[in-house]
Amino acid sequence: MAKKKKKKKTKLLAHDVGIIHSGTSGRHPHDAHIKAFKDGMALFTNVNPRNPRWADDHQATLDTDATALINAGVTVLVAAGGSRSAIAAMRATTQTPIIVTSVSNSARPAANVAGICVLTTQSDPDRLELLLQLLPGRTKIGALYDPSRPDAPTQRALLDSRASLLGIEPLDWQPVDPNGSSQEAQIDDAFQNWGSNIEAVIVTADPLFNNHIDRIVKTAGGALRTIPAIYQWREFADAGGLISYGPDLTLAYKLAGTYVGRIVSNDTTVDKLPLLPLSDFELVINLRTAKTLNIPVPSTLLARATDVIV
């Protein structure tokens, strides 16, 4: 009687894990976050993901890239860089596991989606309040925002409501639209439009602004007038921004990497993994910038700070 041949196990290849990213290749902090993601994967598997497909914050590019990776037969599709990527991934597949690195909505949208929720939109009102604690008495606040953000109306409503509760003037909203003309020119125009009409700025939560950290920080401290600002991620404070408050994105990407590593190594399936809200927030204060701006930092804020740059 002929012996039955043993079936060979199919080896997972590098391209079995695909990544779409709403950001721009080579921009800080994207590279560091992708490294953290790979470090998380490496805890469970030696499979390497293929190089990310970068979309420059264009939804159409994300949609095309997500569909192409699904058609190529990836085992897992990673949606990095925020909610736009998640939307594109879910349009491309309802079957292939999708792991998100940093969405703002904690409600699980589909059975094949898991990953990390960073609650960025919900944190914007707290950023506004921290800004006013640092700058008491200031009432004219500008808000830099992305009008194409999926939850932009909610973001504006939450911030306008908190501004009203805090007794300050209505926020002066200035848009930066990734679907418009040069994003850097739009950033310059926003600060030019504010001129001397505002006393501080909140740079609202959106992955788009991570593409332009240096530009935004430099423009806020430009020749026209230096404007104190609060930002969403610590990378802004590291680059010279006054203060930042938000989740630890490096940790978010590493945790997302562990999710992918567990799926690829057959340790679990996507439906058994949660959409995990990240509770590790960082308050970073740049004392060098505060000194340059002649802003005294209250001891209460210093005591709360996760990190102080001196």
Please say whether the beta carbons of 52 and 256 come within 8 A. no
Give me the residue label for tokens 């990390």. Answer: 116
Structural domains of the chain ordered from first start? 14-119+248-280 (3.40.50.2300), 120-247+282-309 (3.40.50.2300)
Q: For residues 221 and 246, is the Cβ–Cβ distance under 8 A?
A: no
Residue 179: CB atoms within 10 Å:
12
The answer on pLDDT for 36 being more than 90 is yes
Predicted pLDDT of residue 119: 87
Taking alpha carbons only, the member of 281, 263, 259 closest to residue 80 is 259
Percentage with pLDDT > 90 across the chain: 85
pTM comes to: 0.90
Half-sphere exposure in the Cβ direction for 196 (13 Å, CA): 0
Q: Is 60 exceeded by the pLDDT of residue 172?
A: yes
- Tokens for 239, please give them: 């680059």
Residue 275: which residues within 8 A CB-CB, separation 6 or more? 100, 103, 106, 107, 108, 113, 114, 115, 116, 117
**What pLDDT, on a 0 to 100 scale, did the predictor assign at position 104?**
87
Please give the mean pLDDT across all residues of the chain.
Answer: 92
Quick one: pLDDT at residue 63?
97
Q: What is the mean pLDDT of residues 48-66?
A: 94
As a whole number of angstroms, the distance between CA 278 and CA 54 comes to 24
Q: 94-133: per-residue pLDDT in tens?
A: 999 999 999 988 889 999 999 999 988 999 999 999 999 9
Q: In this predicted structure, what is the pLDDT of residue 10?
A: 38
Confidence check: pLDDT of 222 > 80: no
Sheet of strand 98-103, all strands in order from the earlier edge strand to the far edge:
53-54, 17-21, 76-80, 98-103, 113-117, 275-277
Mean pLDDT, rounded, for 1-17: 51
pLDDT band at 11 (very low <50, low <70, confident <90, very high): very low
Rounded Cα distance between 169 and 167, Å, is 7
Judge contact between 53 and 21, C-beta under 8 A. yes
Whether pLDDT at 224 is above 60? no
Averaged pLDDT for residues 42-48 = 94
Residue 41's DSSP bridge partners are none
